[in-house]
Amino acid sequence: MPPKKRKQHFVPQHLQKNFAIDDKRKRVRIYLLKSKRFIETPIRDNLQSSYFYGKSEKVETIFSDEIESPVSSTIDEMIKNPKKFMRKNKILDEETLRYFYTLRNRSLAISIILDEITDQIMQQWEDSTNPDNDNSQNALLKEFQETMVETHELRGLGALVEPIGESRDDIYNGKYMLVKSEKILYLSDKANTSVFPLSPYVLLILGNMVDTVKELFRNVQNHL
């Protein structure tokens, strides 16, 4: 029996709904970086790929039940009143930061990089001329194709891995800033690593990027 969730979103539907252009919150306008143009599309078909996290539905279920659902109300608070949220929450808790960490690591930009690595490794196997390695090479090639190319199971699991070392310090230092913009923000077909549009007017900035943005604001004010 095929899995029910064929369309698996690398940008959650609950986040996309904040950018909906219709009353029923089912359609969004998205900016395509490659072709530099806007399109309108149903959320169910947007920023998703067939079995992106694998055909077992294991990773998709973890994202939905354990990572997205607990944080959705927090995101609603951020959007509703950014200043009040920052006064109430001096730093972000790990549950919220983990949500954005997994979001950025399952983005389309990351998937493209993984696909390029996949192609390189598979090309190396195909170019191998050692006859003693034929059987093992064919077995590895088959396993790799089934796991990464067809089901992407490893890709989804990789997004759930906890950051370590400097990466962890950068992500889990709790530092954040909510910026209310006068200009309309659009969803992009690629996710940035430290900046997340939460709604058409609210931007979340994480980690060390906060200091960069604050310095930018100071420079602008000094020139006014």
Integer angstrom CA distances of residue 96 from 130, 136, 224? 49, 43, 36
Q: How far apart are CA 193 and CA 206, in angstroms?
A: 9
How is residue 61 written in tokens? 């279920």
pLDDT of residue 91: 93
Span 148-182, pLDDT tens digits: 666 777 778 878 888 887 778 877 888 999 999 88
The upper half-sphere exposure of residue 166, i.e. CA atoms within 13 Å in the direction of its Cβ, equals: 1
Specify the residue for token string 């200009």.
Answer: 183
Short-list 33, 34, 58, 30, CA closest to 43: 30
143 alpha-carbon distance from chain centroid: 26
pTM: 0.80
The lowest-confidence range among 3-7, 51-55, 56-60 is 3-7
DSSP letter for each residue of 64-108: IIIIIHHHHHHHHHHHH-HHHHHHH-SS--HHHHHHHHHHHHTSH
Q: How far apart are CA 6 and CA 21, in angstroms?
A: 25
Short-list 97, 5, 110, CA closest to 60: 5
Higher local confidence (pLDDT), 184 or 129? 184
Q: How far apart are CA 8 and CA 206, in angstroms?
A: 25
* pLDDT above 80 (res 21): yes
How is residue 120 written in tokens? 């390189």
Span 95-134, pLDDT tens digits: 999 898 888 888 777 777 777 777 777 777 777 656 666 6
Helix 69-80 with 94-105: angle, nearest 10 deg: 100
* pLDDT above 60 (res 198): yes
Q: How far apart are CA 159 and CA 123, in angstroms?
A: 25
Give the DSSP H or E segment for 149: none
> Residue 20 carries which DSSP code?
B
